[in-house]
């Protein structure tokens, strides 16, 4: 399994979730509701958790927001990360309101005394801080030094944030280095993994919308994970963050790093297919996507390759003209009509 080759990193704790040090790679997302709207935010956080999210980040933009963390945490059972820009007092308030982790760059909050105050508070509360570099907000000094927003510039920028916290005696750190460019993201994290042993939060930032964002994130995150780099991930997509969580879990599943959940394999169809396979797959996916049982389900369009493929899976169907032959662990179970295929498979999945 890819996880055996994972780079050894330090471990931090975010609520009940461990990051780094050999812990399973966790999936994160970020709420896009107004944090002050507690009922909308808690509803979305619950949906994210149901979809398999391990840690949720919320934007904290003023004092009221920081205080709402307590109310949000009382209504949901998942670690909450407070995302703060610039204002160290808000970060301290968020920590005292129960945030399980802070996302803030100490380089943006001013004097060493302020950083020390924040670091001391985080230490007292026992929560880690994520620092990092983002291609959209890197300092001019690093851009000039490296002739642009290069991987070197991003890594040096992140290391600067790390050393500011270290100088305050704080080492409970997670690091992210994000570029919206896949190649630069991968190069940056490779370089960072050689230079530090803090756990890495990986992702392609502002990856985009729909298929484009999914593909960029899958290649970027997947490449890093296969090289043993990355302790927690976020797929960044425009739209409902539930899609980010599903995508993150699919990336982990596809490389054998998520030992639970249902894997649906299906053929691309061709002229031999005499059922509406796309509709069967879509219905089956909708009905089973939140099932956490580790099962492989094959949905094949015809009797040519179908029975062979379907029989290697835990269960499956090889379709014929308007019907399907159901297999369970290599054994033919029964033939059902096309409109009964989905229900039959779902019933078997639930009985496993
Ligand atoms: S399994 Fe059958 S229908 Fe599907 S692509 Fe292969 S030959 Fe075509």
Pocket test for ligand 1, best of 265, 266, 268, 273 (most atoms within 8 A of CB): 273
pLDDT at residue 1 in the model: 40
CATH homologous superfamily of domain 262-351? Sulfite Reductase Hemoprotein, domain 1 (3.30.413.10)
**Pocket residues: Cβ below 6 A from ligand 1:** 267-270, 272-273, 300-302, 304-306
pTM of the model: 0.87
Give residue limits of the domains in the chain.
Answer: 2-254, 262-351
Q: How far apart are the CA of 279 and the centre of ligand 1, in A? A: 16
163 and 119 Cβ atoms separated by less than 8 Å: no
Protein residue with its CA nearest to atom 5 in ligand 1 = 269
Atom of ligand 1 nearest to the CA of 306: 1
Cβ partners under 8 Å of residue 101, min gap 6:
12, 14, 15, 55, 79, 81, 82, 127, 128, 129, 130, 174
Cα–Cα distance for residue pair 58/211, rounded to 1 Å: 25
Distance 275 CA to ligand 1 centre (A): 11
End-to-end CA distance of the chain: 25
Q: Whose CA is nearest to atom 2 of ligand 1?
A: 302
Ligand 1 atom with minimal separation from the 270 CA: 8
> Residue 291 C-alpha to ligand 1 middle, in angstroms?
27
Give me ligand 1 centre to Cα 319, in Å.
Answer: 9
Regions of the chain with pLDDT less than 50: 1-3
Atom 6 of ligand 1 has which residue's CA nearest to it? 305
pLDDT confidence of residue 128:
98
Task: Report the distance separating Cα 242 and Cα 237, nearest Å.
Answer: 10
Separation of CA 318 and ligand 1 centre (Å): 9
At 311 the pLDDT is 65
The domain covering 2-254 belongs, at the CATH homologous superfamily level, to: Dihydropteroate synthase-like (3.20.20.20)
pLDDT at residue 209, rounded to an integer: 75
304 alpha carbon – ligand 1 mean position (Å): 7
pLDDT at 3: 45
8 Å CB contact between 37 and 63: no
* DSSP result, 45-107: HHHHHHTT-SEEEEE--SHHHHHHHHHHHHH--S-EEEE--S-HHHHHHHHHTT-SEEE--GG
What is the position in ligand 1's atom list of the atom closest to the CA of 318?
1
Q: How far is the CA of 282 from the centre of ligand 1 (A)?
A: 17
CA-based nearest residue to 311, from 293, 292, 333? 333
């Amino acid at each position: 399994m890819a996880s055996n080759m994972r780079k050894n990193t330090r471990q931090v704790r975010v609520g009940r979730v461990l990051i780094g040090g050999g812990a399973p790679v966790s999936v994160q997302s970020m709420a896009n509701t107004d944090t002050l709207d507690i009922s909308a935010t808690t509803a979305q956080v619950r949906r994210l958790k149901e979809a398999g999210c391990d840690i949720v980040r919320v934007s904290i933009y003023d004092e009221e927001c920081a205080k709402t963390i307590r109310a949000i945490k009382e209504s949901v059972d998942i670690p909450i990360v407070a995302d703060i820009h610039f204002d160290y007092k808000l970060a301290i308030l968020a920590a005292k309101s129960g945030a399980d982790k802070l996302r803030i760059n100490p380089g943006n909050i001013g004097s060493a005394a302020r950083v020390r105050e924040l670091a001391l508070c985080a230490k007292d509360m026992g929560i880690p801080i994520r620092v990092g570099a983002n291609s959209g907000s890197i300092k001019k000094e690093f851009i000039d030094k490296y002739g642009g927003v290069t991987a070197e510039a991003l890594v040096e920028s992140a290391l600067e944030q790390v050393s500011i916290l270290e100088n305050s005696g704080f080492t409970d750190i997670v690091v992210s280095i994000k570029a919206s460019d896949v190649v630069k993201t991968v190069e940056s994290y490779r370089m960072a993994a050689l230079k530090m042993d803090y756990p890495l939060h990986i992702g392609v930032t502002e990856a985009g919308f729909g298929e484009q964002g999914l593909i960029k994130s899958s290649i970027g995150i997947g490449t890093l994970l296969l090289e043993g780099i990355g302790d927690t991930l976020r797929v960044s997509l425009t739209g409902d963050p539930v899609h980010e969580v599903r995508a993150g879990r699919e990336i982990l599943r596809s490389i054998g790093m998520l030992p639970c959940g249902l894997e649906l394999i299906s053929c691309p169809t061709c002229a031999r297919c005499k059922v509406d396979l796309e509709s069967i797959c879509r219905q089956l996916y909708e009905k089973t996507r939140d099932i956490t049982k580790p099962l492989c389900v094959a949905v094949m369009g015809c009797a040519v390759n179908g029975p062979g493929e379907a029989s290697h899976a835990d269960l499956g169907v090889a379709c014929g003209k308007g019907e399907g032959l159901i297999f369970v662990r290599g054994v033919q179970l029964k033939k059902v009509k096309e409109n009964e295929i989905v229900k039959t498979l779902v019933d078997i999945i639930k009985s496993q």
